[in-house]
Structure 1
Amino acid sequence: MGKLEQLRQNANSLFFKLLTSFMAIIVLLISFNFLSYTFFRNNVTNEILRYNKLNLDKTVNDYEKHMTLIRNVAFSLYFSSEVELLKISSPRIHYDVASQIRTNIRNTIGNDNLYLNNLVLYFRETGFIIERDGTSQAETMFSKYYKSDLYDYEFWKNEFNQSYTYTAYPSSAFVDMSWENAPASKGQMIPFVIKDNSNSKLLIIAMLDAGKMFGAFHQSINRNFIVMNEQGQTMFSSVDTEQTITLEELPGQEGHLKIGTDYYFYSKNAGSGLTYINIVPNAGISSQIVRLNVILGSLLVVAVVISIGTSVLFSIRMNNPLKKIVQSIQELNAGPSSSRRRSEIKEFAIIGDRLSDLLRTNRVIHEDLRQKNSQLKYYAYTNKLKMIRTGGLDWKEPDVSNKPFVLTVFNITFRRRYYENMETDSDFAAYFLKEYISTALADKYAESTVFQIEKNQILALVFPKEGEPPVIETLDRMKEIFDRDKHYCFLTIATSPQYTDSSQFTEAYERALAKLKFRPLGEETQIVTEMGEPAAYHALTLMEEQEFHANLQAGNGQAVVHQVIRIMSAMHKKQAAAGEFADFSRDLLSKVLRTLTALQLDGRMRKDDDSPQELLADCHTLEQYETFWSEFLGEAAGWIKQKKEARDPITSFVFDYLDHHYGEELSLEMLADKLNITGAYLSTYFKEKTGMNFSDYLNGMRVNIAKDMLQNSSMKIQDVAVRVGYHNVNSFIRMFKRYAGLPPGEFRKTSQQGG
């Protein structure tokens, strides 16, 4: 009986409960780890298979992208102006053009990332060959310099009769038989051929280095890789032994299957028709599983042993000391003034001291939180102003809920001179301004709150009382201080009338922000107290924009400067706000920069100078805007005028011919024939010299002439269309609306009303 009671007491002891709890946790963790390991082991094989599939997908993607790239390179060469000239002049051979083509081939092959051994141009009528090392006859080329058992001269000769535009052939070893006794290997290459299926005068053969492509694109630790075409032929193989798999054995577009002791991962590409196969020996996968079993099993055994030993040791060490810790806490709860006997045991004495420190720290933290009311007010006011509702930070300021207040917003604008001459960042300057505003208001008002609500925006809340000066008087005195630094920065101060309740905070804030938009031009601090007229966006009218673009494209700097200054003077007379000047100027600058870019003149702006956008952002008076536009537009118009005055025989002929024959049937090819050049060359040359396409120039010129006819004559729209070269009136109306922005009828009506 005594032993049973003793056993019951031991079962209720802390040591026993700790030990049994640890044992239960260990058993639970062992069970969980065992199940997890079993599940994990079953999925490792799938993950390894997935890893090999992803590697094959990457290889397929790289091969397909490269084949597309080579096709584009070959087509680009096929349709180049030099090759076109040789095709047209055949059977005559222009050796100077052939030399240029050879140079282009060498430049292309020089790109190591293309993995090209050679680009061969084979002309059917003459049997003429152009390649990287020079020119030769086709029979000599394919029986001597690029000899292959699969692809002899007769094979290439018959390719002209085959029905395809481009194709790739299985890889083959090519040798150079220039010296019969010492043949030189060219390597294993994949021939990629393109031609014009409808008029096969030329073959372009891209010799792809199969070995380099394999080394660059194959993503696997195994080197067993096969590429097959739609006919089941082996395009490339890195397998030492002869592969026996056929396309019929590979179901679906992609997947894997196990044949013998190997896994075959395959992917069929619908675009190219190629099938990519990666062979992974099963021994490699099995070895990883076995190695994983050994590692995880060993770790589990070690973890169980360490866990049991640690549990026993920790339970023993926690049994008695925990009671003394509880006693120490009970002594501390008596309060800081009560005497506490310090433990003679070093560890528990340290615990007691640390608990005392925690209690003192807790009291200090509570005291510090009481001193953070200003910071909490900032978040509360911000949430109130911006109508942000939070779960635990609702408005809790009953002492100001019914007090009258005045809200003022200070918006800071830093001048370019500040960033050039000052070492400190603008955020430091904004902080110093906030501190000055806070000090100035605190000197005059018993209750005020100042905080920075945006990067360049400071907000002040003043709760005026009887006997305190009006807020506007204080702002006037602050303005005098701010104006001392107007060369570096200035402020726009928007103040609200006096409100009576805190529920109007949001309304006061929104009205103050709206007032900021009515700041007039000027580079000194300004106080805005009243709302002005709603801002009207000043954009160029249709007629003004046409006049501006016509003068700018003609290089008439004086006219465009005069027009812009006239518009800005009108805006100034209407007392337009500074923001309206900025919006108008940014829109106008965008139009000028687009014109310069179209004429390829944007590169003339010096990169080491301030950009036009930066110079424009520092304009704050009418004189500064006029100076900026006079200099910038004058310089831009000068560039345009210089380019127009630069005479060019080809473009001059085109301009002159169009001026005298705009009403006739015109085409790029017709003018190219008159100049004895190709249409493609004339199109590229005209775009390079004028900054616009030939069709855009012709249609724009015809529309401009039609505008003049519509404004200065009573001709019918159908007659105007025929006069300027459009025999279909619907085409004329569509083109006129595209370039003029209005249909012809509305344009004539608008012009008559404007007159």
Structure 2
Amino acid sequence: MQSTTYVPRKKYSGSLFYRLLLSFIIIILLLVSFNVASFTFFRSSIREEIIKNSSSNLETTVASYEKNIALIKSLLVSLYFNTHTEALKNNPQQFDFYILSQVQRELQNVLASNQLYLYNIIYFFPKRDFALDKDGSREAHMMFSKFYTSSLYPDSFWPAEVAKPAQSFRVYPSAAFQEATSFSSRTIGTFNPVMFKSAAMDSFAIFALLDSAQMFEAFSHFQRDADFYILDENGSETFAATSRTEPLKLKSTTTNSGYYWEGTNYYFYKKGAETGSTYVLIVPLATITEQFFKLNVFMITLIVLSIIIGVGISILFAKRFNNPLSAIIGSIQQMDRHSTPYVTPIREFNVISQKLHDLFLTNETINRDLITKNSLLKHYAYLNKVKMIHTDIEGAKISIDSDRPYVIVLYQLMYIDSQLAAMDMDPNRASYYIKEFVHSQFIQTFKDSLTFQIEKDQILTILFIDDSEREALDVLLLDIKKIFELDASYCTVTIAVSPVYDNAFAFNTAFEYTLQLARQRKLGEDVQIIREKENLPPDLWLTPANMKEFTANLTSGNAAITIPIITKTLELAVKRGASYAQIAELAKEIVNLIIKTLYASHNPMSLLDEKRSPADSLRNCRTLAQFQQFFEELLTQSAAGIRQKKEATDYITSFVTSYVNDHFGSDLSLDLLADKLNITGAYLSTYFKEKTDTNFSDYVNTVRMNKAMELLKKTDLKIQDVASLVGYYTIASFNRMFKKHTGLTPSEFRRAQL
């Protein structure tokens, strides 16, 4: 009787299955007990945590709003007192077209990033009824009655605000703005107007339109049914995100920050230090009650599901773990019946611990060590081949798979410096991540492939394949290309693929061939896969005639001539099929020519004094348009510096150029300007030619054509109206001169811009 009860007890108590199942059940019960106790303990403090969380969310929102308003104020101050704005304020009777264009460009640059949630910035001159924004200039009453009209802010509101004394900065309540022109009528958005001006000056002010909806979306982190208000120092509402219809009235006993409970709502409030505005968050009590109910339901459901799933998984896992292990134990015991097992409470592990632990652990360690060393030796061998390194150690015989056909894939990486800087990543670290990604892709299809980084911008993959596997390689490369294209904003990749080589001794030749393929990359920001070698045009350079004309006009500061020469030279290089490397080398040589020419003529280039050199900017050019834009900015800046230097010491030339730029739409003649200078027309013609290397008539035509191109680009005016505005009274003479200057008719030029 005693023996029949003892054996089953020993069997079940020593079985791994029952021990695992019992352990899992005990752990599940302990976790459930802990969850129940934790829920009971913390439930009493949930209301305080919700209140604390709402207060914290409001503080974060207030800090974001106040910081943004402070940044906007700082921006408006810098714009108000910068050089170009001072020039407009100091000469209110007649605005300089060049200064206006510079101010407009500054506004476009400021508003391009939109990090301050500004929709527009308007320079307002109430006494001249003049306004200027990012889109251009127009009469102020037209600006505020048609383009930015609001029932809360009629066009008479703005001059009245500027005229108020002792008020320099103010944020006005938000309102809906519309554009109501004769052509269309549409709602632009909901904005908070912001004003900055000098308290003692009523002839100029800067107005900014702050996008209320975008700011709220970016800065708020509230519940969906919560209401949000911003009140000014007088308690008036400047912004509201609410479904309530009645106005908000806070208790008179409120301090700078805090909360109180009134009716069915919690009121959280905080006063901003920068603006003095009061920010109010209203959270319904129903929200907190609903969260309690949801939390109770969730916890009960979670506990029940945890018990059911935990017990089920415990039984399944214990069975799956125990059954195979029992079979393995039986086979091992048959192999060695005389061994003495190590005694443990579980008999299965008595066998496993002695028979498998040391044997398998040792064997796995040895295999892993051999595989790792073999892989490192192969990488070392191929890297030596690529780098042309020869070792003198006679005993180091490293195989490089001399009997297997192989293909070399080279990845040439070209990073965008600004994007890498924004990601806080250096090129070496980025190349390492790309190398690891390429290795993970190839190792799945080609088990023996080797991928390693040979330079900071070059990654190499060696594949041991034959011609029958080229199709699989092509499919894999297309997949990798698609992934690289997702990151094209910060890295441009060229993939060069060699043919299949059978001889390992030709490895250096194969690598050089692959490098030459990579140099065949064409202009563009796309990922390019290059497999075939093509004939590239010979080295590119300016023709002697173009070089002579270019250097002469560069020295005289004539950007209207030098820019088209470089533009056409680059376009010709692209038409001839030049590679990116050839065009980049051509651009580098042109930059060197510009620097040498300017320094030889005692006109140092200001770009060299900036933090970012022309060479750095060139490295980020990928397309023809980017190269052309780079040279347009470089030559324009150089020409402006040269002209400024010349005009500073040459009254006659300065007068002529200023008069032509101010009156290009009027009847201009050499005798007219000579009379104004009290000199003869012949002397003025000779003097102007000597100082500028340009005839007076050519200069007038160049200014008029530049103005015409600008009007054709940025307006929808008829060509006949453009001709009249720039001083041509017959369309035929305008068409003839425009085509001579640009190579296109006005209609063709406008279509090309579109």
Instruction: Give the TM-score band, short-chain normalised.
Output: 0.3 to 0.5
If you compute each CA radius of gyration, which structure gives the higher value, 1 or 2?
1
TM-score (norm 1): 0.42
TM-score (norm 2): 0.42
